[in-house]
Amino acid sequence: MDLSSTTHGAAGTSEGKCPVDHSAAAPREVIPAAQLPVVGMARMRQALSIWSRPEPFLRKCRAEYGSRFRVTIVPGAQLFVISAPEDIKEMFLAPRDVLHTGSSNTSIEKWTGQNGLAWLDEAQHTARRRSVMPSFRGEALKRVEREVIRLADQEVGSWPRDRSVSVHPFAHRYTTRVILEVLFGEHRPSCENEMFREVMKMLEFNSRPATMQPFHMLPAWKMKRMRLFRPNGVNDFLTRRDRVHRMLDEAIEERVRSGAAGDDLLGVMLNIVDADGSSPSRTEIRDEMMTQFLAGTETTASAICWALEFLTRHPRVVERLRAEIAEGKEDTYLTAVVTEVLRLGPPIPLIVPREVMKTVEIGGVRYEPGARLWASAYLLNRDENIYPEPDEFKPERFLGVKPASHTWIPYGGGHTRCLGDRIALMELKATLTALLTNCDIERVNKEPELARRRTVVHIPKDGARMIFRPRRVKASA
d(CA 212, CA 461): 18
pLDDT in tens, 250-281: 999 999 999 999 999 999 999 999 888 889 99
Exposure string of 132-157, with b = 16+ CB inside 10 Å and e = fewer, is: bebbbeeebbebbbebbbebbeebbe
pLDDT tens sequence for the chain (477 residues): 443 333 344 344 444 554 545 455 555 689 999 999 999 999 999 988 888 888 899 999 999 999 999 999 888 889 999 999 999 999 999 999 999 998 888 878 888 888 888 888 999 999 999 999 999 999 999 999 999 999 999 999 999 999 999 999 999 999 999 999 999 999 999 999 999 999 999 998 988 888 877 888 889 999 899 899 999 999 999 999 999 999 999 999 999 999 999 999 999 999 999 888 889 999 999 999 999 999 899 999 999 999 999 999 999 999 999 999 999 999 999 999 999 999 999 999 999 899 999 999 999 999 999 999 999 999 999 999 999 999 999 999 999 899 999 999 999 999 888 899 999 999 999 999 999 999 999 999 999 998 888 888 999 999 999 999 999 874 333
d(CA 61, CA 72): 13
d(CA 182, CA 266): 9
What pTM was computed for the model?
0.89
Residue 31 half-sphere exposure, CB side, CA atoms within 13 Å? 7
CATH superfamily membership of 28-187+260-470: Cytochrome P450 (1.10.630.10)
Q: What integer pLDDT is reported at residue 25 of this predicted model?
A: 56
Q: At how many degrees (to 10) do helices 54-65 and 43-52 cross?
A: 120
Q: Which residues, at least 6 apart from 143, have a Cβ–Cβ distance to it below 8 Å? A: 181, 185, 263
Q: What integer pLDDT is reported at residue 105 of this predicted model?
A: 80
Q: What integer pLDDT is reported at residue 287 of this predicted model?
A: 94
pLDDT in tens, 6-55: 334 434 444 455 454 545 555 568 999 999 999 999 999 998 888 888 88
Q: What integer pLDDT is reported at residue 52 of this predicted model?
A: 81
Domain locations in the chain as residue ranges: 28-187+260-470
Q: What integer pLDDT is reported at residue 24 of this predicted model?
A: 54
